[in-house]
Structure 1
Amino acid sequence: MNFNTFAKKSVVLLFGFLLSCDQDYNTLGADLVGDETFTFLAGEDKSSSITINDLDLGAVQSNNLSVNHLGLLKNDYFGETTASFVTQLQLATAAPVFGTGIEVDSVVLSVPYFSTKLSTDVNGKGTYRLDSIYTNTKDYYTDFKTDKLPAFNLEVFRNNFALNDYDINDITKNGKYYSDQESVLDVVVGEKLNNAANPNENTNFKPNQAEFEKPKVDDLTQKLLPIKDNPGNVGERFSPRIRLHLDKSHFENNIIKADSRYLINNNAFVNYYKGLTFRVSRNEGIMMGLDFKKGDVTIYYKQDRTDNKGKEMKTFVLKMTGNNLNILKHNKSAIYASALSSNTPTDNLFLKGGQGSIAEIKIDQALIDDLKNKGALVNDASLYFTVDPNFVNSLSSSNKSFYYLNPMRLYLFNAEKTRSLLDYTNDITKLTNVPKKDKYVHGGILQKVNDKYMYRIRLTDHINQIINDKTGTYTNVKLGLAIAESIYITPEAQGLSAISALKNTTNILKSIPSTAVISPLGVVLGGMQGDNKVQFKISYTKRN
């Protein structure tokens, strides 16, 4: 603890120096006026003034998330998570008018991967790296070649479960569906739809980083032109994506030949067809993050030309923009289950995305009262969390595998209102081309410090807001600490759509930010004991 007494000008000069060196910003109140003297207390350890507990979330609301997952991921510390997916289909064109003599050529399901374009050759062909691919095959992260990934069994069925827009018990509220509704996966109609002869589209599926090249169509024959060794025959190029050929007869009978009243609008269509179910099995450990709303099912067909001069090629598109649901089955490991069931502080905290867990943090009211009584101006208040070294070792075959399998960011929020802290709102810092690292002063970003991996989160403005409040508006609420897929998938950035309700609301916590739900990852942190325990440090200025 350092005590120094100096005049106002010295305070300002010192703070200016700290700002320029550390690129941090501190709250310098306008109350420092006149010829009064002040005492600056730097980095006081207040770790004994906080309590932290793991909180098992149970089932979480997982419908209509901005990112969904499909696959399976294993972790020695957390266990095994399997992600399945259900989506409504919607008509790209309502009330279609089909011609005569229809012959369905093919039906293709397409969902783009998150990817980064690395280069383009002289013919315009792109080379890509897939993003949001998580695998237990850690060597994949050395060069991101998808041929290293394990294959698994992928099945697509027609779904027959209605995902309603509104709560059937209260139509003024949006419908809520939860991550544990596994029974939905069994409400299907007919046989598997992705029944192509190519096993890479079903029983031996794995992601592919190759660009998709769509051939041109010969005007006379209406046949696709060959593109091998003929780059001029490439009509369009698309980023890497899931592409599955679906059963032609199913879509001819249920879409092309459907009663026109079922295709009059999307309300009628959703009541009739519902959508698709995606299930995985025989998976050795690969999870894909996908934006299914950018996916579609395209029916390619030929019909008679109106001038009776043969056939013409047509397409009919079904979009995946309807309601959807991510179903998450989590088989907890023994160590994870034990940690969540413990009622006493432990050496570790377990944070897990999806149907997982967060940490609940409470700052001792006595500390808040002490700062108030001192008339303190908090210049910095930060929480420091250290990743458990044994957990680091369990993920690492290389630095790359650790950085991709360990959460890049943690998010601290008001757990009682599911809102961001004032520090989040006030922080306008941005990192060019890396939006996931924006608001880096508020922090929560993984960093390496003296051979340890740590997260630092500033809550300076939050503390000042409480101790300076004269109306009782801002109180010392419980805080939540969660995995963050994106710092922008928050209520402040996206409104109520970024809040996921909890199915079990016996705790004070009723909901969590959706950014925690859409991450499949977990991290083990030092807890309230041991060499890697949580630290809470405050630097503040008080009048003498």
Structure 2
Amino acid sequence: MKMIPFLVMGMVVLNSCEGELDDLGSQLVEAGASEGVDKMFGIVAYNINNNDTIQTDASRIDSVRIGAFDEPVFGSQKVSYITQLRLNTYNPDFGVNPVVDSVVLTLKPRYATATDSITTTTNEDYIYPEGSVAAKKVVTTYPVSKYGKYKIGGQKTPLTIKVNEVNDFLGASTDKVISNKAIAVGAEIGSKNFNGTINSVKITKDSDNSDIIPEITPSLRVNLDKDFFQNKIIAKKGDQVLKDAASFIRYFKGISISVSDSDGYLFSMRPNDAAITIYYKNDVTANNVVTRTKAETALSLGSGNAHISKIVYNRPASYVAAMSAAGTPNDVSGDQLLYTQGMGGAGFGIKIPASIIVQLKNQYKNEKIGIVSAKIRVYNDDVTWNNSYRKPTSMLVIEKGEKGFLPDMSELNGTGYSLIRTANLSTKDAYYDIGITASLKKIIQDETYDVTKAKEFFVNLGTYSSDASTGLLLGQNYNNRAYTPNRIVLKGTDQTKIGQELNATSKAAQLRLIYTKK
């Protein structure tokens, strides 16, 4: 019998109120409620200047971006990846008379796998050069996943990958590093013209269809200066600098991977997937016969090394002006536009005015209202941000003064609750709903809450990280904000309507409520 009013309420609200109810709604309804009410209130939304910096050491970047991108609203952005490298084997023996043939840096960017994105080229008459073996060569080409400009001037956007030696000691992988840290970069030791695609290669013998070489997985291979590695590594055989890791990372301090271009796109890869292989020949004597023999040694760029993402911005005047006003007093009157960007760019604050909280607390006490749904909605600004760049799909939200997740996330984790609900992301009319039902419930039902205080939330772009085995979120500080490339301009505060009810057509930042009353 107690469930009947809940069912009736649900049917009434679903049919009479705009918007979706969230999963917590049924827990907040007073028994016997029958009338559903849908209201929108103007709130304060303001920019938060993150000073174009963010922590980007190995503890924060399980993915890294490389590239350059320029657009008129947020300005230009260049991202390089800096990493230590270590010998796979210390105090190595390169044999007699070792001479480097080639050195290859292998990167594995993330790429699209949709069937219509892939092209395959088959050469049935391929001759494998070692032994002139008749073979078949199959090359499969994948487009790298990009954020930015796929084309410039009607042509595929080119990038030039640059690899430089690093001149500064990078410290330990556990050291905290900020994205704008000055790191001295030395001589260029390699480069490659990159067309935005990567290949896998498979070569099989015609005679028995067996593999001549193991299949090469999709990767970007950059040839490095063989003379540099001859002198830096091979010629140092027996030297103390090759005998242990501590000596080596102070001798060969690291490499920087960047682009020489000023505009194009950003691509991503897992830092632990990168590697350097040195191919060389040495003299091998058998039966008094000396033979030049192939050999190779590898340098590890994986875990255990310091990994750093270095991000450089050049901002336009409109963005600089918006950020110079960020903070107080704009957290009182709000900003009309919210400039929101990952990778150290700006976030925004949301403040529910004390007047709204007082009104709801009075209604809860006197009218026995039950909050079914509470959400903050922010709209894309269709004038400033009217383009085809991919819009963000998620956000990070924290209550002012708290360290953990919103109460909604903690109480409903694993029930299908979504912190952010999106709509129309492929259009200029995109909007984002942030679910705060439990947060608001706690306020209006807490008799000790100071009603003179507004309720405040801080929002940044990014996605929370989860445990690979359980799927559970790891915590507020575990997220991809340091390398999410997205940006968007949102509509902010209607300064004439702060704390007041809004009409249904308003696209100002707003608190949207569905509640029941007897």
TM-score bucket (shorter structure): 0.7 to 0.9
Match runs of 1:145-544 below 5 Å: 148-165=155-172, 174-181=174-181, 183-184=182-183, 186-188=184-186, 191-194=187-190, 201-202=191-192, 205-213=193-201, 235-258=213-236, 259-305=238-284, 307=286, 310-321=291-302, 322-342=305-325, 343=330, 344-368=333-357, 370-372=359-361, 374=364, 377-393=370-386, 395-396=387-388, 402=389, 404=390, 406-426=391-411, 441-448=418-425, 452-468=429-445, 478-484=456-462, 486-488=463-465, 493-494=473-474, 498=478, 514-529=479-494, 531-541=506-516
Match of 2:384, SS? helix
Letter in 2 for 1:338: A
Mark the CA change 1:66 to 1:476 in structure 2 (over 3 Å): closer, same or farther.
farther
Cα shift at 1:243: 1.3
Letter in 2 for 1:11: F
Letter in 1 for 2:324: S
Larger mean CA deviation between 123-132 and 294-303 belongs to 123-132
Match of 2:27, SS? coil
Cα shift at 1:206: 2.3
Match of 1:385, SS? strand
Partners of 1:264 and 1:466 lie apart in 2 by 62
Deviations 1:80-130 (A, max 9, x none): 111122111123334433322322221100111101333486987544232
Paired residues of 2:377 and 2:433 also in contact (CA < 8 A): yes
Larger Cα-atom Rg? 2
Partners of 2:97 and 2:164 lie apart in 1 by 28
Mark the CA change 1:526 to 1:302 in structure 2 (over 3 Å): closer, same or farther.
same
Report the number of matched residues.
462
Paired residues of 2:381 and 2:428 also in contact (CA < 8 A): no
Mark the CA change 1:470 to 1:449 in structure 2 (over 3 Å): closer, same or farther.
farther
Letter in 1 for 2:336: D
Cα shift at 1:426: 4.7
Paired residues of 1:330 and 1:355 also in contact (CA < 8 A): no
Letter in 1 for 2:172: D
Paired residues of 1:133 and 1:289 also in contact (CA < 8 A): no
Match of 2:441, SS? helix
Match of 1:105, SS? strand
The answer as to 2:39 corresponding to 1:44 is: yes
Partners of 1:192 and 1:243 lie apart in 2 by 16
Match of 1:411, SS? strand
The answer as to 2:40 corresponding to 1:63 is: no
Partners of 1:76 and 1:467 lie apart in 2 by 43
Cα shift at 1:11: 3.0
Which structure has the highest helix share of the two? 1
Q: Which residue of 2 aligns with 1:129?
A: 143
Q: Which residue of 1 aligns with 2:114?
A: 118
Cα shift at 1:214: 6.7
Match of 2:142, SS? strand
Match of 1:101, SS? strand
Larger mean CA deviation between 284-293 and 370-379 belongs to 370-379
Cα shift at 1:329: 1.4
Match runs of 1:27-106 below 5 Å: 27-29=25-27, 32=30, 37-38=32-33, 40-47=35-42, 50-58=43-51, 59-64=53-58, 65-106=61-102
State the identity as a percent: 21
Mark the CA change 1:30 to 1:24 in structure 2 (over 3 Å): closer, same or farther.
closer
5+ residue gaps in structure 2? Answer: 123-136, 496-505
Cα shift at 1:527: 0.9
Paired residues of 2:379 and 2:507 also in contact (CA < 8 A): yes
Partners of 2:102 and 2:473 lie apart in 1 by 41
Partners of 1:29 and 1:289 lie apart in 2 by 42
Scaled by the length of structure 1, the TM-score of the pair is 0.73
Match of 2:508, SS? coil
Paired residues of 1:71 and 1:286 also in contact (CA < 8 A): yes
Deviations 1:387-410 (A, max 9, x none): 1112343x23xxxxx4x3x22333
Paired residues of 2:29 and 2:372 also in contact (CA < 8 A): no
Mark the CA change 1:39 to 1:318 in structure 2 (over 3 Å): closer, same or farther.
same
Mark the CA change 1:157 to 1:534 in structure 2 (over 3 Å): closer, same or farther.
same
Mark the CA change 1:446 to 1:357 in structure 2 (over 3 Å): closer, same or farther.
farther
Cα shift at 1:446: 4.9
Paired residues of 1:345 and 1:528 also in contact (CA < 8 A): yes
Mark the CA change 1:236 to 1:419 in structure 2 (over 3 Å): closer, same or farther.
farther
Deviations 1:434-489 (A, max 9, x none): xxxxx6732243535997211122122332344456898xx9763111122x3427
Mark the CA change 1:525 to 1:97 in structure 2 (over 3 Å): closer, same or farther.
same
Deviations 1:190-233 (A, max 9, x none): x3101xxxxxx44xx224424232768xxxxxxxx9x9xx9966
Paired residues of 2:9 and 2:36 also in contact (CA < 8 A): no
Letter in 1 for 2:398: F
Partners of 1:130 and 1:97 lie apart in 2 by 38
Scaled by the length of structure 2, the TM-score of the pair is 0.77
5+ residue gaps in structure 1? Answer: 1-6, 141-147, 167-173, 195-200, 217-224, 397-401, 431-438, 499-513
Match of 2:37, SS? strand
